[in-house]
Chain A
Amino acid sequence: MGDTLLFDAMIYLSAAVLVVPLAQRLGLGSVLGYLLAGIIIGPFLLGFIGEEGDELLHFAEFGVVMMLFLVGLELEPRLLWRLRTPILGMGGVQVLASTAVIGMIAYFTGFQWNEALAIGMTFALSSTAIVLQTLNEKGLMKSRGGQSSFAVLLFQDIAVIPILALLPLLALGHGGGGEGGDGHGHGGGAMDGLPAYVQTLLTLGSVVFVVLAGRYLVPRLMRIVAATRQRELLTGAALLLVIAVAVLMTLVGLSPALGAFVGGVVLANSHYKHELESDLEPFKGLLLGLFFMAVGASIDFNLVANNPVLVLGLVVALLIVKAGILFAIGKSFGMGLDQNFLFSLGLAQTGEFAFVLLSFIKQEGILPGDSVALLLVVVAISMAATPLLMLFNERVLQPRFGTREKVEQSRPADTIEEQRRVIVAGFGRFGAVVGRFLGANGVRATILDNDSDRVDLLRRMGFEVYYGDATRFDLLESAGAEEAEAIIIGLPTPEQNLMLVEVVKKHFLHLHIVARSFDYMDTYDLMDAGVLHIFRDTLRNGVAAAGETLKLLGFRAYQVDRHAHRFLEHDTNALRSLAAVRQDEGEYADMVRGTVSDLEQQMKSDLGPNTYPRDYGWDSESLVKEFGEA
């Protein structure tokens, strides 16, 4: 591998860089892009990846571990507690029912009961990697369907532990099976030979250790590392953290992904949350990408070519069965139709755990090698089909059966529809405040949002709401962008905001754009895109909070008010000049170093009590000087 490592890296990265943007431009999403890239460089097309594909898959699975760590970081313990019903209820029912139904089908098609059960358990699980990545990309994580998907995936991650423990028991004296107490755990084996109760104690102990370490040890460690002021060391520490958790969990036979998730939740309240997030994000992205490529490359097209009907039949049957069960669960938990489509189609595939479980099943001798090979292909294809299913849901099902994009007006014909002058794109925390204050001034806005539960609620309250992706030209058009005067842009991510700005600038140039931004960087982007009215999320609030504090310290309220005003003015001007020179990269880097990254320095020079002009009109010093000599 040694000298080919760089060459391999080049192949993978070029495939990703070439194919993923193309897939995204075609509206297929990045996951499908990576899968396609994997298929292209895989053994059956270009042949750049050969046998090492499996190895690669194992390595890249670490991306899933990292993703769950990051998911955990976003999820405070309180939030997790609120999700306990869907996790246990929906997740439990899903795993049990899918195992039972898939197992039954396998049994009646000629498998032994133990083989059928193993298959059932393996195929009950879904792909955390594909589902979460796709939901994130579409901004649907916070919707009801997204939350429920997450809950079920979490339960499945937990369920892997008992499943791994059960499998050796299913090896009913087949040839090479059940090498004694091979325990659970696919990599480790450090605890082999220990009595069962010691193993259990060690397992529990290591979870407790992760929780305690996350609370007490890690923050201290991070502080020490941060004190060195070496950026790369912080990244290294973040990586170490995740890897260490994964290793520990593997040793005691728990799922590394689950361990990482617990570690993440414990650190969700720490100071280093954002540091960790930004450090790990790119690694996660690349590793996941690699993982998806490996999945694409692992599809054995020879097998497909030899039994096309069988393979595709199995995939379709699997998807239908799983989706059907999920749909019934969604329905009984009171999910609306389109959230339920998202939920049931999204989770219908089989996930990355199946790769682990199937190789374990083969190793234990539960199933013969050729059956396992066939099943592996089914797993991979079902995963690859997921983005397509989501697309099908978005383009075909939702418009037909989901929350209507627009509610048909059923008003008496004689009331003249008042003209909607403003469109609010994104009715989240920001958009909601904007919409309310506009409404308080008698300006009824047209709302665009892609959370169908919220859309239903708003419609019940009599708002004019369009449901769907606000960056779509046709949705904007039917929402009346042609006649409106202004659009408020407050979508959940900077990327979506920017995309919408581009669409508006291109097709509805007459609209005033009022946009919400998140931080410096996306504020520049919006400025570059020609947006004149930008409201940075925390700016005004932060200044107001500081002002309030100054008043508590005894500053005069009106003085604070005027200084706050001046501060905001200065901040805006500084940003403007920065945005203007940003084109010139070199100069930009200097400016950033001077003003933005070194925030503390900037504030010192900005707000020194003597650096701003005072309100000389209220100054009597010079008067005393000129007229004071009596």
Chain B
Amino acid sequence: MPKVLILFAHPALERSRVNQVLIQGVGDIPNVHFHDLYQHYPDFYVDVQHEQELLLMHDIIIWQHPLYWYSVPPLLKQWIDLTLEHGWAYGSKGVYLKGKRVLNVITAGGGHAAYEAGGYNGFTMHDFLRPLEQTAKLCGMEYLPPYLIHGTHRIDQAGAEKARKDYHTFLRALGAGEVDPEELKPLYYANDHRILNPVK
């Protein structure tokens, strides 16, 4: 069974409307390990050794976070800078992450349309995620399409609950090996997978 590691970054979870709901109970899903970065490192003092050990123990890495200024919240960037050391994660001796898979799970204020080519934001979500995609590739990891929850400003309680249900279904399938990462590769977003969109 593939082991899934969620690296979660939200600087103000007490004010979150969506992520707060999404993460309720994720730790209970078999083969999924939930790791709350802002709770562990409020002072940005990332324990590199611990983080590297966690990475070694898992096969699928999820960066889950709200989209802030078309990018990741700062602690996640700090995590990347410090954990993915040269000589460990990349470079001629950096072989430890080879073959693992990475994807982003993102909540974004903007709707789907705003992130289409020529849309309100000018670029697609994939464009904004290029740096992360290449980071994964440099470390020999496979970068999978992101899982997106768009239009959070307009999501109500029921919408958040629905998003949570879908997300957990997806995670459970990943942890149980029912979703083959190979099947995700050709998709636009990971949540387009058939497990969440049964053919009518």
Are A and B part of the same complex? yes
B86 to A562, Cβ gap below 8 A?
Answer: no
Q: What B residues does A565 contact at CB under 8 A? A: 43, 45
The answer to whether B45 and A623 have CB atoms under 8 Å apart is no
A585 CB contacts on chain B under 8 angstroms: none
Pair count A-B, CB < 8 A = 26
Tell me, in angstroms, the Cα distance from A623 to B90 when the chains sit together.
10
CB-CB under 8 A from B84, the residues of chain A are: 617
CB proximity of A623 to chain B, nearest CB, Å: 6
Whether A622 contacts B43 in the complex (CB less than 8 A), given A615-B82, A617-B84, comes out as no
Judged by a CB distance under 8 angstroms, whether A618 is at the interface is: yes
Q: Are A616 and B45 in contact (CB under 8 A)?
A: no
Q: Which residues of A contact B86 (CB under 8 A)?
A: 616, 619, 622-623, 626
> Most chain-A Cβ atoms within 10 A of its Cβ — which of B81, B84, B85?
B85
Report the bound CA distance from A617 to B84 in whole Å.
7
Measured CB to CB, the closest approach of chain A to B58, in angstroms, equals 20
CB distance from B50 to the nearest CB of A (A): 12
Check A626–B81 contact: CB distance below 8 A.
Answer: no
Contact B45 A626 (CB under 8 A): no
Instruction: Please provide the chain B residues from 21 to 64 with a CB less than 8 Å away from any CB of chain A in the complex.
Output: 43, 45, 48
Bound CA span A618–B77, Å: 12
Looking at chain B's contact residues, the main secondary structure is: loop
Given contacts A562-B45, A565-B45, A617-B48, contact A622 B87 (CB under 8 A): yes
- Report the minimum CB–CB distance from B18 to chain A (whole Å): 25
CB within 8 Å of A: which B80-137 residues: 81-87, 91-92
Classify chain B: how many residues form its interface, as a range. 10 to 19
List B contacts of A562 (CB < 8 A): 45
Give, as a whole number of angstroms, the nearest-CB distance from A309 to chain B.
Answer: 73
**A623 cross-chain contacts in B, Cβ below 8 A:** 86, 91
Which residues of the partner chain A approach B82 to less than 8 Å between Cβ atoms? 615, 617-618
Q: Which residues of B contact A618 (CB under 8 A)?
A: 81-82
Which residue from chain B places its CB closest to the CB of A623 in the assembled complex?
Answer: B86
**How would residues 115 to 130 of chain A score, 1 for a CB under 8 Å from any chain B CB and 0 otherwise?**
0000000000000000
Q: Which residues on the B side are within 8 Å of A626 (C-beta)? A: 86, 91-92
- B82: min CB distance to chain A, Å: 4
Other-chain residue from B48, B81, B91 in contact with A622 (beta carbon distance below 8 A): B91
CA distance A562 to B78 in the complex (A): 13
Q: Kindly report which residue of chain B lies nearest to residue A618, judged by CB atoms.
A: B81
Cβ-closest chain A residue relative to B45: A565
Report the Cα distance A622→B81, complex, angstroms.
15
CA distance A617 to B45 in the complex (A): 12
A597-630 at interface with B (beta carbon < 8 Å): 615-619, 622-623, 626
Please indicate the chain A residues that have their CB under 8 angstroms from the CB of B92 in the complex: 626
Q: Which residue of A lies closest to B84 (CB)?
A: A617
Distance in Å from the Cβ of B79 to the closest Cβ of chain A? Answer: 9
CB contact under 8 A between A617 and B43, given known A622-B91, A626-B91: no
> Cα distance A43–B183 when bound, in Å?
99
Chain A residues within 8 Å of B48, by CB: 615-617
Interface positions of A (Cβ within 8 A of B): 562, 565, 615-619, 622-623, 626
10 residue pairs bridging A and B, Cβ less than 8 Å apart:
A615-B82, A617-B48, A617-B81, A617-B82, A617-B84, A618-B81, A622-B86, A622-B91, A623-B86, A626-B91
Question: What are the 6 closest A-B residue pairs judged by CB atoms, nearest first?
Answer: A617-B82, A616-B85, A565-B45, A617-B81, A622-B86, A617-B85
If A562-B45, A616-B85 are given as contacts, then 12 extra A-B residue pairs at C-beta distance below 8 Å, sorted by A number, are A565-B45, A615-B48, A615-B82, A616-B48, A616-B86, A617-B48, A617-B81, A618-B81, A619-B86, A622-B86, A626-B86, A626-B91
